[in-house]
Amino acid sequence: MAHKIILDTDPGIDDAMAIFFAFQSKDIEVLGLTTVFGNVPADMAAKNALILCDLAEQHHVPVTKGVARPWVGPESEYAHFVHGDDGFGNTYPEASKRALDPRSSAQFIVDMARAHPGEITLVAVGPLGNLALALRLEPELPKLIKGVSIMGGAAFVPGNVTPVAEANIWNDAHAADIVFSADWDVHMFGLDVTYDISFPPTFVDVLEEKNPVLGGFVQKAAQFYMDFYSQGREDRVCFFHDAFPIAHLIDPSLFGFTEGHMRVATDPLNKGQTALAPEGSTASPDWLNARKVKVATQVDHPKLTELFIDTYAR
Protein backbone atom coordinates (compact mmCIF):
# COMPACT_ATOMS: atom_id res chain seq x y z
CA MET A 1 0.00 0.00 0.00
CA ALA A 2 1.33 3.44 -0.95
CA HIS A 3 2.28 5.93 1.74
CA LYS A 4 -0.09 8.89 1.79
CA ILE A 5 1.97 12.06 2.15
CA ILE A 6 1.55 15.80 2.19
CA LEU A 7 4.77 17.33 0.86
CA ASP A 8 5.48 20.68 2.51
CA THR A 9 7.95 22.44 0.25
CA ASP A 10 9.66 25.66 -0.89
CA PRO A 11 10.63 24.88 -4.52
CA GLY A 12 13.70 25.15 -5.02
CA ILE A 13 15.87 22.92 -7.21
CA ASP A 14 16.35 20.04 -4.78
CA ASP A 15 12.64 20.37 -3.94
CA ALA A 16 11.87 19.83 -7.63
CA MET A 17 14.00 16.70 -7.71
CA ALA A 18 12.24 15.42 -4.56
CA ILE A 19 8.73 16.25 -5.80
CA PHE A 20 9.30 14.42 -9.09
CA PHE A 21 10.80 11.51 -7.14
CA ALA A 22 7.63 11.30 -5.03
CA PHE A 23 5.36 11.56 -8.08
CA GLN A 24 7.27 8.80 -9.88
CA SER A 25 7.25 6.34 -6.96
CA LYS A 26 4.59 3.64 -6.89
CA ASP A 27 5.00 3.58 -3.11
CA ILE A 28 4.02 7.24 -2.59
CA GLU A 29 0.62 8.90 -2.94
CA VAL A 30 0.96 12.69 -2.86
CA LEU A 31 -2.23 14.17 -1.43
CA GLY A 32 -1.04 17.74 -1.89
CA LEU A 33 1.86 20.15 -2.09
CA THR A 34 1.74 22.70 0.71
CA THR A 35 4.15 25.54 0.03
CA VAL A 36 6.06 27.86 2.34
CA PHE A 37 8.65 30.62 2.13
CA GLY A 38 12.26 29.49 2.30
CA ASN A 39 14.43 29.02 -0.76
CA VAL A 40 12.17 31.55 -2.47
CA PRO A 41 9.32 33.88 -1.36
CA ALA A 42 5.95 32.31 -0.59
CA ASP A 43 4.27 33.52 -3.80
CA MET A 44 7.06 32.08 -5.93
CA ALA A 45 7.07 28.80 -3.99
CA ALA A 46 3.36 28.29 -4.71
CA LYS A 47 3.70 29.18 -8.40
CA ASN A 48 6.74 26.91 -8.74
CA ALA A 49 4.87 23.98 -7.19
CA LEU A 50 2.12 24.40 -9.79
CA ILE A 51 4.74 24.37 -12.56
CA LEU A 52 6.18 21.11 -11.24
CA CYS A 53 2.72 19.51 -11.11
CA ASP A 54 2.12 20.55 -14.73
CA LEU A 55 5.46 19.12 -15.87
CA ALA A 56 4.70 15.83 -14.12
CA GLU A 57 1.10 15.83 -15.43
CA GLN A 58 -0.15 15.68 -11.85
CA HIS A 59 -2.97 18.13 -12.49
CA HIS A 60 -5.17 16.61 -9.78
CA VAL A 61 -2.71 17.32 -6.94
CA PRO A 62 -3.79 20.36 -4.91
CA VAL A 63 -1.24 23.11 -4.29
CA THR A 64 -1.64 25.59 -1.45
CA LYS A 65 0.18 28.75 -0.44
CA GLY A 66 1.51 28.89 3.11
CA VAL A 67 3.21 31.17 5.58
CA ALA A 68 5.32 33.94 4.09
CA ARG A 69 7.59 34.85 6.99
CA PRO A 70 9.09 33.38 10.16
CA TRP A 71 7.04 32.78 13.30
CA VAL A 72 9.14 35.47 15.05
CA GLY A 73 11.20 38.24 13.47
CA PRO A 74 11.46 39.99 10.10
CA GLU A 75 10.87 38.60 6.63
CA SER A 76 13.48 36.10 5.58
CA GLU A 77 16.25 36.59 3.08
CA TYR A 78 15.98 34.05 0.29
CA ALA A 79 18.44 31.64 -1.30
CA HIS A 80 18.38 32.97 -4.87
CA PHE A 81 22.17 32.65 -4.88
CA VAL A 82 21.64 28.87 -4.57
CA HIS A 83 18.47 28.36 -6.63
CA GLY A 84 18.44 31.27 -9.09
CA ASP A 85 16.11 34.24 -9.40
CA ASP A 86 13.23 31.97 -10.42
CA GLY A 87 14.01 29.17 -7.94
CA PHE A 88 14.80 26.88 -10.87
CA GLY A 89 18.35 27.85 -11.76
CA ASN A 90 17.28 30.75 -14.01
CA THR A 91 15.64 28.39 -16.50
CA TYR A 92 12.31 30.27 -16.34
CA PRO A 93 9.82 27.52 -17.21
CA GLU A 94 6.36 28.48 -18.44
CA ALA A 95 3.98 29.51 -15.67
CA SER A 96 1.03 27.27 -14.83
CA LYS A 97 -2.48 28.35 -15.73
CA ARG A 98 -3.94 26.27 -12.90
CA ALA A 99 -5.30 27.98 -9.78
CA LEU A 100 -4.10 27.33 -6.25
CA ASP A 101 -6.34 25.55 -3.77
CA PRO A 102 -7.94 28.46 -1.86
CA ARG A 103 -7.08 27.06 1.56
CA SER A 104 -3.97 28.02 3.43
CA SER A 105 -1.30 25.33 3.66
CA ALA A 106 -1.94 24.91 7.38
CA GLN A 107 -5.70 24.54 6.88
CA PHE A 108 -5.15 22.01 4.10
CA ILE A 109 -2.94 19.92 6.41
CA VAL A 110 -5.62 19.98 9.10
CA ASP A 111 -8.44 19.14 6.65
CA MET A 112 -6.55 16.21 5.15
CA ALA A 113 -5.55 14.87 8.57
CA ARG A 114 -9.18 14.92 9.66
CA ALA A 115 -10.24 13.19 6.43
CA HIS A 116 -7.54 10.48 6.69
CA PRO A 117 -6.86 10.03 10.42
CA GLY A 118 -3.72 8.03 11.17
CA GLU A 119 -2.82 7.60 7.48
CA ILE A 120 -0.77 10.66 6.46
CA THR A 121 2.93 11.32 6.82
CA LEU A 122 3.87 14.99 6.68
CA VAL A 123 7.08 15.31 4.68
CA ALA A 124 8.48 18.77 5.37
CA VAL A 125 11.44 19.88 3.25
CA GLY A 126 11.36 23.62 3.95
CA PRO A 127 10.95 25.86 7.00
CA LEU A 128 8.34 24.53 9.41
CA GLY A 129 5.89 27.43 9.70
CA ASN A 130 3.00 25.58 8.03
CA LEU A 131 3.28 22.65 10.44
CA ALA A 132 3.52 24.97 13.45
CA LEU A 133 0.43 26.88 12.34
CA ALA A 134 -1.46 23.64 11.68
CA LEU A 135 -0.71 22.62 15.28
CA ARG A 136 -2.26 25.89 16.44
CA LEU A 137 -5.35 25.37 14.28
CA GLU A 138 -5.81 21.78 15.49
CA PRO A 139 -4.10 20.95 18.81
CA GLU A 140 -5.08 17.28 18.33
CA LEU A 141 -3.18 17.11 15.03
CA PRO A 142 -0.45 14.78 16.37
CA LYS A 143 -3.12 12.17 17.08
CA LEU A 144 -4.36 12.43 13.49
CA ILE A 145 -0.97 12.16 11.76
CA LYS A 146 0.92 8.92 11.13
CA GLY A 147 4.31 10.60 11.31
CA VAL A 148 6.46 13.59 10.41
CA SER A 149 9.59 13.37 8.26
CA ILE A 150 11.71 16.50 8.19
CA MET A 151 14.59 17.48 5.93
CA GLY A 152 16.43 19.88 8.16
CA GLY A 153 18.79 20.27 11.05
CA ALA A 154 22.32 19.18 11.85
CA ALA A 155 22.72 17.03 14.96
CA PHE A 156 26.38 15.98 14.92
CA VAL A 157 27.82 18.03 12.04
CA PRO A 158 28.21 21.79 11.42
CA GLY A 159 25.38 23.84 9.99
CA ASN A 160 25.29 25.40 6.53
CA VAL A 161 24.02 28.87 7.53
CA THR A 162 25.82 29.30 10.85
CA PRO A 163 28.33 27.01 12.55
CA VAL A 164 25.43 25.27 14.31
CA ALA A 165 22.31 25.77 12.15
CA GLU A 166 20.94 24.27 8.94
CA ALA A 167 18.95 26.56 6.63
CA ASN A 168 15.41 25.16 6.96
CA ILE A 169 15.51 25.23 10.75
CA TRP A 170 17.40 28.54 10.93
CA ASN A 171 14.83 30.22 8.65
CA ASP A 172 12.04 29.66 11.19
CA ALA A 173 13.57 28.44 14.43
CA HIS A 174 10.57 29.24 16.63
CA ALA A 175 8.27 27.26 14.32
CA ALA A 176 10.77 24.38 14.36
CA ASP A 177 10.78 24.43 18.16
CA ILE A 178 6.98 24.09 18.14
CA VAL A 179 7.08 21.21 15.64
CA PHE A 180 9.87 19.26 17.36
CA SER A 181 8.12 19.74 20.71
CA ALA A 182 4.80 18.26 19.55
CA ASP A 183 3.80 14.74 20.54
CA TRP A 184 4.19 12.97 17.23
CA ASP A 185 6.63 10.53 15.63
CA VAL A 186 9.45 12.56 14.05
CA HIS A 187 12.25 11.39 11.76
CA MET A 188 14.86 14.05 10.98
CA PHE A 189 17.02 13.89 7.84
CA GLY A 190 19.58 16.63 8.28
CA LEU A 191 23.04 17.48 7.09
CA ASP A 192 24.33 14.43 8.99
CA VAL A 193 23.21 12.35 6.00
CA THR A 194 22.40 14.78 3.18
CA TYR A 195 25.95 16.16 3.15
CA ASP A 196 27.32 12.64 3.50
CA ILE A 197 26.63 11.87 -0.14
CA SER A 198 27.48 14.24 -2.99
CA PHE A 199 26.24 13.67 -6.51
CA PRO A 200 28.50 14.22 -9.54
CA PRO A 201 27.30 15.97 -12.71
CA THR A 202 26.78 12.58 -14.35
CA PHE A 203 23.99 11.83 -11.87
CA VAL A 204 21.65 14.45 -13.33
CA ASP A 205 22.72 13.41 -16.83
CA VAL A 206 21.51 9.89 -16.03
CA LEU A 207 18.22 11.27 -14.66
CA GLU A 208 17.72 13.09 -17.97
CA GLU A 209 18.54 9.93 -19.92
CA LYS A 210 16.05 7.90 -17.87
CA ASN A 211 13.31 10.54 -17.93
CA PRO A 212 13.77 13.27 -20.57
CA VAL A 213 10.95 15.46 -19.22
CA LEU A 214 11.35 15.35 -15.44
CA GLY A 215 14.99 14.33 -15.34
CA GLY A 216 15.70 16.81 -18.12
CA PHE A 217 14.18 19.62 -16.07
CA VAL A 218 16.30 18.67 -13.05
CA GLN A 219 19.42 18.39 -15.21
CA LYS A 220 19.01 21.91 -16.61
CA ALA A 221 18.01 23.55 -13.32
CA ALA A 222 20.79 21.81 -11.42
CA GLN A 223 23.59 23.46 -13.41
CA PHE A 224 23.16 26.71 -11.45
CA TYR A 225 22.81 24.69 -8.24
CA MET A 226 26.03 22.79 -8.96
CA ASP A 227 27.83 26.07 -9.62
CA PHE A 228 27.03 27.09 -6.05
CA TYR A 229 27.99 23.79 -4.43
CA SER A 230 31.19 23.47 -6.46
CA GLN A 231 32.71 26.76 -5.35
CA GLY A 232 36.15 26.17 -3.84
CA ARG A 233 36.19 22.49 -4.82
CA GLU A 234 38.21 20.68 -7.43
CA ASP A 235 35.28 18.45 -8.39
CA ARG A 236 31.81 19.53 -9.53
CA VAL A 237 29.02 18.28 -7.23
CA CYS A 238 25.50 18.88 -6.01
CA PHE A 239 23.40 17.71 -3.06
CA PHE A 240 19.76 16.62 -3.27
CA HIS A 241 18.82 17.07 0.38
CA ASP A 242 15.04 17.08 0.06
CA ALA A 243 14.58 13.63 -1.45
CA PHE A 244 16.03 11.79 1.55
CA PRO A 245 12.87 11.58 3.73
CA ILE A 246 10.88 10.29 0.76
CA ALA A 247 13.52 7.64 0.09
CA HIS A 248 13.18 6.49 3.71
CA LEU A 249 9.44 5.95 3.31
CA ILE A 250 10.09 3.84 0.21
CA ASP A 251 12.98 1.84 1.71
CA PRO A 252 13.64 2.30 5.46
CA SER A 253 16.63 -0.04 5.28
CA LEU A 254 18.64 2.70 3.54
CA PHE A 255 19.11 4.64 6.79
CA GLY A 256 20.46 4.21 10.29
CA PHE A 257 19.18 6.40 13.12
CA THR A 258 20.20 7.78 16.49
CA GLU A 259 17.26 8.33 18.85
CA GLY A 260 17.36 11.00 21.50
CA HIS A 261 15.89 14.14 23.03
CA MET A 262 15.91 17.15 20.71
CA ARG A 263 16.17 20.83 21.58
CA VAL A 264 15.87 23.61 18.98
CA ALA A 265 17.63 26.81 19.96
CA THR A 266 15.85 30.13 19.41
CA ASP A 267 18.34 32.56 20.98
CA PRO A 268 20.04 34.93 18.48
CA LEU A 269 23.51 33.37 18.62
CA ASN A 270 22.46 29.71 18.35
CA LYS A 271 19.21 30.20 16.41
CA GLY A 272 18.19 27.04 14.60
CA GLN A 273 20.60 24.66 16.30
CA THR A 274 19.17 21.14 16.55
CA ALA A 275 20.94 19.72 19.58
CA LEU A 276 20.40 16.02 20.29
CA ALA A 277 20.97 14.18 23.55
CA PRO A 278 21.16 10.52 22.50
CA GLU A 279 19.10 8.20 24.65
CA GLY A 280 20.96 7.34 27.86
CA SER A 281 23.49 10.15 27.50
CA THR A 282 22.09 12.53 30.13
CA ALA A 283 20.15 12.68 33.38
CA SER A 284 19.30 16.39 33.04
CA PRO A 285 15.57 17.07 33.38
CA ASP A 286 15.95 19.96 30.96
CA TRP A 287 16.84 17.40 28.27
CA LEU A 288 14.74 14.45 29.39
CA ASN A 289 11.64 16.64 29.22
CA ALA A 290 12.28 17.28 25.53
CA ARG A 291 10.55 15.08 22.95
CA LYS A 292 12.39 12.17 21.43
CA VAL A 293 13.15 12.14 17.71
CA LYS A 294 14.94 9.74 15.40
CA VAL A 295 17.85 11.44 13.60
CA ALA A 296 19.25 9.84 10.46
CA THR A 297 23.00 9.39 10.93
CA GLN A 298 23.82 6.71 8.35
CA VAL A 299 22.83 6.25 4.69
CA ASP A 300 23.60 3.57 2.12
CA HIS A 301 25.08 5.66 -0.70
CA PRO A 302 24.98 3.15 -3.60
CA LYS A 303 21.46 1.89 -2.87
CA LEU A 304 20.07 5.41 -2.42
CA THR A 305 21.53 6.51 -5.75
CA GLU A 306 20.13 3.39 -7.42
CA LEU A 307 16.69 4.08 -5.94
CA PHE A 308 16.66 7.64 -7.28
CA ILE A 309 17.66 6.54 -10.78
CA ASP A 310 15.32 3.54 -10.93
CA THR A 311 12.37 5.64 -9.75
CA TYR A 312 12.98 8.34 -12.35
CA ALA A 313 13.11 5.60 -14.98
CA ARG A 314 9.55 4.42 -14.27
CB distance 4 to 202 below 8 Å = no
Which residues lie below 8 Å from residue 101, measured CB to CB, with a gap of 6+? 32, 62, 63, 64, 108
| Active centre residues (catalytic) | 10, 241
How far is the C-alpha of 236 from the C-alpha of 81, rounded, in Å?
17
| Residue 283 and residue 289 in contact, taking contact as beta carbons nearer than 8 Å | no
Residue at 178: amino acid letter: I
